[in-house]
Amino acid sequence: MDKTQYTRVGVFLLACFVAFLSWFFLASYIGHRKSPQIREKTLTVHDDLLAIDGRHNANKVAVGKFGLVFLTPDGGKTWERRASGTHRTLSAVSFADHQNGFIVGSGGALLATSNGGATWQAQNSGTKDQLLGVHASSPLRAFAVGAFGTVLSTSDGGRSWSKHEFKWDALIERIIKEGGYIEPNLNAVYFSSPEIGWIVGEFGLVLQTRDGGQTWVSQRYGSDLPQLYAVKFFDDRRGWAIGQAGNIIQTLDGGRHWSAVQLETQRDLYDLSVEDDRGVIVGDQVIFVSRDGCATWKPMGAHSEDHWLTGVALKSSEAIAVGQAGTTQLLGLDNLASDMGKKTP
């Protein structure tokens, strides 16, 4: 074989090697960025998902604008559209157990399921106010909160809902004196036990009940404090609330004292999920993760770049986050890296 033939063989082998490397890295990239699939509907950039919930090792349900309800039976790999019977914005979802859950939304929209989110039935909330948060502490008992100080509760699985009348001049006395009569927006509610629960909202407001929601007291508020959008507790003592401009506050004594936690962001934070020694916070193009009982939080990089995320639910060593334009993300918590990318179906 002469020199020219050796050269041709060498060029051929080099081209094969380059082609192999190109295929390998392309396949790896595609595999890494593979998006979970949503069946039955192609979402548009306007179809924002706003919240997600579901019990451990059970179906997760995501809700959003235009009455969107999606269910994932396999931890976020695939999503199935479920009929909601409404075109209203659905703001929040909460499951009491593997089967029973509630959804709330605009115009007083209220839906319930008893089969893990496969089907949903409308309930009469008795209000037209926008409902922003919901928490089901049992299949029979749930609280919903919303705009203009709206607080609703049910003790019969949603067959009937009662509206709670709050004395805001006593609960937020200083703000009432400064600005006149005010009914603050209430964004989220959470119960750590059947009797002990919290509501957070406008003016950095934190309310607590210790009698199952019959009476409430204010633990924190101020006319100059940012809104709080979400609240979660490990138990009756350890809890966190998050909100505007990167604000996160924590309590170790059931809310008697709240202290600020410093995060490396000034972006709005919309939701958090805590379980065992782990926690995840999502917001406006940011994700924070904790693996030390939420004592410290580390940024998860730019996995939500260009998109805001408004809902997150932990699942074993991963979390599922949802947000703008139908985005879903699977977040690997062990290595603080996302093994599933942005999805816009």
The number of angstroms, rounded, from the C-alpha of 175 to the middle of its chain's C-alpha atoms is 29
Residue pair 123/113 in contact (Cβ under 8 Å)? The answer is no
Residue pair 243/204 in contact (Cβ under 8 Å)? The answer is yes
Residue 192 amino acid letter? S
Residue 24: predicted pLDDT? 35
Burial class (CB in 10 A: 0-12, 13-18, 19+), 27: exposed
Report how far residue 34's alpha carbon sits from residue 27's, in angstroms, rounded to the nearest whole number.
Answer: 10
Q: Is the dihedral of CA 161, 148, 239, 105 positive or negative?
A: positive
Residue pair 167/210 in contact (Cβ under 8 Å)? The answer is no
Residue 45: predicted pLDDT? 66
Report how far residue 264's alpha carbon sits from residue 335's, in angstroms, rounded to the nearest whole number.
Answer: 19
Residue pair 184/205 in contact (Cβ under 8 Å)? The answer is yes
CATH 1.10.10.10 at 38-332, yes or no: no
Residue 11: predicted pLDDT? 45
Nearest Cα residue to 220 out of 267, 253, 265? 253
Burial class (CB in 10 A: 0-12, 13-18, 19+), 284: buried
Report how far residue 296's alpha carbon sits from residue 250's, in angstroms, rounded to the nearest whole number.
Answer: 11
Residue 345: predicted pLDDT? 37
* Max Cα distance, the chain (Å): 98
Residue 44: predicted pLDDT? 64
Report how far residue 54's alpha carbon sits from residue 95's, in angstroms, rounded to the nearest whole number.
Answer: 6
Coil, helix or strand for 219?
A: strand
Residue with tokens 């959003």: 64
Domain ranges in the chain are 1-32, 38-332
Residue pair 270/286 in contact (Cβ under 8 Å)? The answer is no
Mean pLDDT, the chain cut into blocks of 10 residues (345 residues total): 48 45 37 39 72 91 97 92 96 97 98 97 96 97 98 97 95 90 96 97 98 97 96 96 98 96 94 92 94 90 71 88 91 56 37
Residue 47: predicted pLDDT? 84
Say which DSSP state 40 is in. S
Residue 305: predicted pLDDT? 58
Say which DSSP state 292 is in. S
Q: Is the dihedral of CA 96, 102, 104, 110 positive or negative?
A: negative
Coil, helix or strand for 263?
A: coil
Residue 30: predicted pLDDT? 35
Residue 178: predicted pLDDT? 85
What's the whole-model pTM score? 0.84
Residue pair 50/91 in contact (Cβ under 8 Å)? The answer is yes
